[in-house]
Structure 1
């Protein structure tokens, strides 16, 4: 500040720091008060520690690539709060890199466990509460008891539950802490009267803290306005009327609704009875007429604020600080100067509530000065009741924020006329598979707000009728032609109906309007792959990975495509990338395990299967691991794995059959037979069961029963010629063991008629003719088998034997 900007005085007062002018109680008393505040905060929010990631937490933390381990620190400073590039048209433009950095540190130190995120939030709230008391002691109240009461009221106010119990509310809590620190640093750098800067270091620290507050949340920038006005009005003793005249000249937007919203926010601070996580889409009807009764609330608020401004005396800073702390942090969210993405949001009231608490305690102080002793006692009791009620309400609100279901259900109960809460609850129900309930709430959202395109789109995904689903998707696109998910869903529907040309167009449009929507790339690439256009499919996958480098599913799907097209050597990288991006991506782990098994790297494959099981115990993981153990002769381990799979999916014939096969190979034929017969009794058409039963009987030497089992399998009339060929081949083997060579030969002949490339059947036919002495026929069958299996040693040995016999006969 310069002399020209402040005017000149005849005799400026001596320089004194403001901090030394305020009386303080004993250090022990102050420490006890701070401890009490921290204890109250911790008690009020202790039940919030067990909450899940809910609502915006999922998008800002669990789905945000910027907070994941290994992600670039640079991306934190180039992307918005939700992980999108600031330059992107779809970006929210909320720039909070330091808040994202705290999330990243949380994960680094405590993993993705919500408990530690909540613990940090509660700790920060305790810090803000303690700092508020310290601020009030330094530059607001002369009586430290009122400073303590202000902080106590702040600590238990229910309006803070969204900011403290909702993890993304950390932006508001941390910004408030930095706001107070910046303010304290500023006033400690200045002196009373006509002040020069008495501490350049404190001023620089204030600028740094204010900048950090702004980088935590945009509202943090308002601390600079608060500091300047506090300097102008308090430290320089200027008249409040100067500021009032400036405020009167500010341009009025003229929107009655926005004026009412200011009053509504003030009411939430005054009486936080009805609280909700989302106040959008019909929660607060528009004020469209001067005769709307709600204008009285707007007028009342205006009169109250005007009275506070005009009656602010220089010797009492309580009102001034209260008004500054209340108004300035709320300006960015007020909709008066620029539009924001919400009408009411409880967490944005966290910072302004500091000013509200100062004003309430100031009012209480004024009342104490004019009432009798009994009146003062009544005021004290009333304040205690308010504090207890606020504490109870805070604890109750914390319960709502413990889970997605509790949060979304509370919205339905609190604001049943809000289309958004019905839509959110329907999304939750859809994720949980409660489709009928989800459909009801989607339809309720549409009844309240018929132009809700996303509700129409999601309804389409739940209906079982393709025609009805198409109607919903097209209605959504009529409302919003650029709805990329509706375009995607309609494209997939058309693809399933064989309308590939229109499906391709829809999927391309989905990518056009949602260039970072990875599922659309996967679906379009899949369409091209099904059409045999591998080159185009590969290009789409490559483009998708360029635009969506953090999509684990896209990397996994590309890996599957590469395996299918014979490029498995490149697929491993994409499976591993999918796991790196999403460490819980068990599908990619299983796919990588299968790929490793195909290259006989069973040890490494086993490790990936086991890693997938650490994420989730699912049949889809247990069965390939069981197959690995079975094929490598580790039957006891295979039995253990398949038994677990059977407990998870007891109605699965395939699992029980696999378990019986393992028992048979482990030499436990009686158990295997009993289990197979049990499966047959429950499943009328189980060809593989009869094949296994035949193998069990054959191993026991019961070839007649083995043959009967194969005949029963053939009576099931399997549609696959290869299966019928295998059954005839097995029958030939049983008949050969029974020394019925002619019947065996006929069975082998039927097998090769159904499957001509079955070299073993050709060889066995040659063997039968060899035994019967028809060497010419035997040679013909052996040579046919040798064409199919040129590396067979047994075939070559048989041919050599045949040569020796023929030479011996010729010599005789």
Structure 2
């Protein structure tokens, strides 16, 4: 099938003074790979951004422990294909590559980007191979086509964005399918019959590869149409032109090989597309107005004019990729609503160009010229058909990644056009075009490298969107989400408001704005406004339900949270919130049922398992709780909250070593006060004071304004024997916060340990002067004061303090026993017995009380014996 080499003096596009075939295929591939790496090398350090977060990080099907079966039953984002909210994008093979990425290199973005760049290199080399064998008569033109393709800036989203792997891998399989199909057809040596199928195995392989292309991305199925049309227009064209005058019977007999291939391909496509429709549950995906505004227009003229204009807009992006953006929704491209819109000229121009190409294609075939225009048009048009809104609505206005495959046809046509110009111009004209092409390659390379910087981080990507399309509400919304996640609330509010100014019906922007406002009434206003726009907005229902729950409006909150679950059955937070509402109402059975249903619907929600574990601990089911904490950690290995909760549970069972190991494992994820504090408490309670000191010092450094941490550190210092430092630290806390009752108690303990009982007593009096509202705290203070007075041998005052303590808290056996001891010392044996017996009722197993009562018995019997 490869045409003979052109004459070395052929003037068309002489990029270098090289003879045909002087540069071997391996060397040309090496040049292409090097150029791809130079253009996309800076993308290797990028993060997982935009759709990568939902397709990889938040996709339960991608996680190593998830079932492989889910990959083949769920959509690209991890939802059930039959779900009404599903995107209906069925790409299991692409998801499998993500799983393999994680299996080999974890979640490290570098390896994801590396695979994308390698795939782009493979596609570029395979495109050159295709050009050499199936398109151009001159291998140099195929090389130039691949050069242009390798650096085209329109590819940055597909290559630098990990989700774009679907387009790149589908393109690779598209070309492999095309080659396998051509190998199955004989090179026609006779003009009396159409080429026969010489390799059934190659034909079957092409069917399998085409199916794989479709299972990577839906556009891959278009390769079958390209194969059939290439077969009839190129492979069978010459015989058909000679058989055009034959009788119908002879013509059908001669065309039999092609008819069989075309029927097989058509039947197979019908089968796999029927299967695809069955997987979708027989319904098409539902998209909102902001996803594709033209599709929501009630006017047929508006829809048609806008769709046609979008075709010319995409064509312009291929020819002049100057203005590139990751999102073209919500106002980026206003609708074309009338025939008088000047943008219709672009549509007319594109129509003229396409008609001219088709005429040129027909004439070139009649003259038995090159296949360049045929393949160029097929590669340009067919892969774009699924994104054209021609047969069904799509969920975007313009998406640069879907132009990855059509750009092959564009590059072929551009190089073909330049070669024709060179053949018509003289040597100087050819030189000028060659230099121009070289400059174009350099310009494209520079633009690609610059555009890669945009995809390095979420902030860079979202900032670029605002710079390129400030009229796009969606880019303001996305940037506001990033600012909100980064804690930059005021900037986030500004961009949410801007998004609402540009698109007042943006319910999610209203909802998120409500989460940022500090005024509950204002937040409620935004939530209700979001629900007026979209009554089924499950997150607005959830947020409003939580707000009303915090205000004590439990019935309305319950109804809202139930609706949030009804409209978002896989929204795990709604189950947790509703269950916690039932738990607060002491409706533990209902709360448990909600948690169980939530885990059934959202089995991969680590937070839901963790929250259920907390509920089980609170209801005394610690053993079951441990299993859910461990499940949460299995689902999300960095879930440090579940690790800390598991550590607390083990600590309550005195399994200190296991608890310590979980706390330390949590610290490997992040160094936070919420982890350091319970670890410090564990060390303190197990008398490992030096280790407790290290932990509490780090915690206090992380959160220097937290009084409780400094107080805990002072307590550890006092127990570790650093009483002077503990005293200074406690006095420093009191100087900042005079009402710190626990500080005075600690100060009293420090002074008492030194024997400074007067200062210890003064510290307790100052604590009592704070008049604590907590009755238990006041009772403990009086008890401590009684102990100090007893140490100072002020027994009457000590007895009064103990009396105050038991009045506030009657169930203090130690206070009753100390009161009995004072009466015992004073010789008031009857009164002492009353207090001892009261204490014994509260602590029946106390040996000391029994010994004291025995002493009283002996003292009371002694006078009788002496008498």
Tell me the TM-score normalised to structure 1 length.
Answer: 0.95
Residue 447 (structure 2) pairs with residue 378 (structure 1): no
Structure 2 partner of 1:228: 228
Q: Of the candidates 59, 83, 94, which is equivalent to residue 99 of structure 1?
A: 94
Provide the rounded CA distance (Å) in 1 between the counterparts of 2:860 and 2:403: 102
Provide the rounded CA distance (Å) in 1 between the counterparts of 2:313 and 2:801: 87
1:797: how far off? 2.9
Provide the rounded CA distance (Å) in 1 between the counterparts of 2:56 and 2:307: 32
On the 8 A contact 1:762/1:785 being kept in 2, the answer is: yes
Structure 2 partner of 1:304: 353
**1:650 match: secondary structure:** coil
Residue 330 (structure 2) pairs with residue 291 (structure 1): no
Provide the rounded CA distance (Å) in 1 between the counterparts of 2:167 and 2:567: 32
Structure 2 partner of 1:217: 217
The 10-residue stretch of structure 1 (58-67 or 488-497) with the greater mean CA deviation from structure 2? 488-497
Matches within 5 A, 1:773-784: 773-784=827-838
Structure 2 partner of 1:457: 511
1:629: how far off? 0.5
**1:515 match: secondary structure:** coil
Residue 623 (structure 2) pairs with residue 628 (structure 1): no
1:348-403 superposed Cα distances (whole Å, 9 cap, x missing partner):
00111111111111111111111121111111111111111111111111111111
Q: Of the candidates 649, 665, 681, which is equivalent to residue 595 of structure 1?
A: 649
Residue 128 (structure 2) pairs with residue 123 (structure 1): no
Provide the rounded CA distance (Å) in 2 between the counterparts of 1:103 and 1:595: 36
Provide the rounded CA distance (Å) in 2 between the counterparts of 1:27 and 1:227: 31
Structure 2 partner of 1:272: 321
Matches within 5 A, 1:244-393: 255-312=304-361, 313-314=364-365, 315-393=369-447
1:773: how far off? 2.1
Provide the rounded CA distance (Å) in 1 between the counterparts of 2:702 and 2:22: 63
1:589: how far off? 0.9
Structure 1 partner of 2:635: 581
Structure 2 partner of 1:402: 456
1:142-187 superposed Cα distances (whole Å, 9 cap, x missing partner):
2111111111111111111111111100000111111111111111
Structure 1 partner of 2:549: 495
Residue 180 (structure 2) pairs with residue 180 (structure 1): no
On the 8 A contact 1:19/1:188 being kept in 2, the answer is: no
On the 8 A contact 1:132/1:151 being kept in 2, the answer is: yes
1:798: how far off? 2.6
Q: Which runs of 5+ in 2 are unaligned?
A: 7-18, 189-193, 245-299
Provide the rounded CA distance (Å) in 2 between the counterparts of 1:196 and 1:808: 128
Structure 1 partner of 2:130: 135
1:539-573 superposed Cα distances (whole Å, 9 cap, x missing partner):
11111111111111111111111111222221111
1:493-534 superposed Cα distances (whole Å, 9 cap, x missing partner):
111222111111111111111111111111111111111111
Tell me: CA distance 1:611–1:27, structure 2 relative to 1, closer, same or farther (3 Å). Answer: farther
Residue 646 (structure 2) pairs with residue 557 (structure 1): no
Tell me: CA distance 1:776–1:288, structure 2 relative to 1, closer, same or farther (3 Å). Answer: same
1:743: how far off? 1.3
Q: Of the candidates 764, 770, 792, which is equivalent to residue 716 of structure 1?
A: 770
On the 8 A contact 1:192/1:236 being kept in 2, the answer is: no
Residue 757 (structure 2) pairs with residue 703 (structure 1): yes
Q: Which runs of 5+ in 1 are unaligned?
A: 1-17, 243-251
1:651-682 superposed Cα distances (whole Å, 9 cap, x missing partner):
11111111111111011111111211122222
Tell me: CA distance 1:231–1:22, structure 2 relative to 1, closer, same or farther (3 Å). Answer: farther
1:811: how far off? 2.6
1:200: how far off? 2.0
On the 8 A contact 2:20/2:140 being kept in 1, the answer is: no
Structure 1 partner of 2:857: 803
Structure 2 partner of 1:743: 797
Provide the rounded CA distance (Å) in 1 between the counterparts of 2:176 and 2:851: 91
On the 8 A contact 1:150/1:361 being kept in 2, the answer is: yes
| Number of equivalences | 785
**1:280 match: secondary structure:** coil
1:615-640 superposed Cα distances (whole Å, 9 cap, x missing partner):
11101110000000010011111111
1:22: how far off? 6.9
Structure 1 partner of 2:274: none
Provide the rounded CA distance (Å) in 2 between the counterparts of 1:601 and 1:26: 75
On the 8 A contact 2:570/2:602 being kept in 1, the answer is: yes
**1:311 match: secondary structure:** helix
1:15-37 superposed Cα distances (whole Å, 9 cap, x missing partner):
xxx25867996586321211111
1:269: how far off? 0.4
1:486: how far off? 1.1
1:707: how far off? 0.9
On the 8 A contact 1:669/1:696 being kept in 2, the answer is: yes
1:765-797 superposed Cα distances (whole Å, 9 cap, x missing partner):
122222222222222212212222223233233
On the 8 A contact 1:128/1:177 being kept in 2, the answer is: yes
Provide the rounded CA distance (Å) in 1 between the counterparts of 2:829 and 2:129: 108
Tell me the TM-score normalised to structure 2 length.
Answer: 0.89
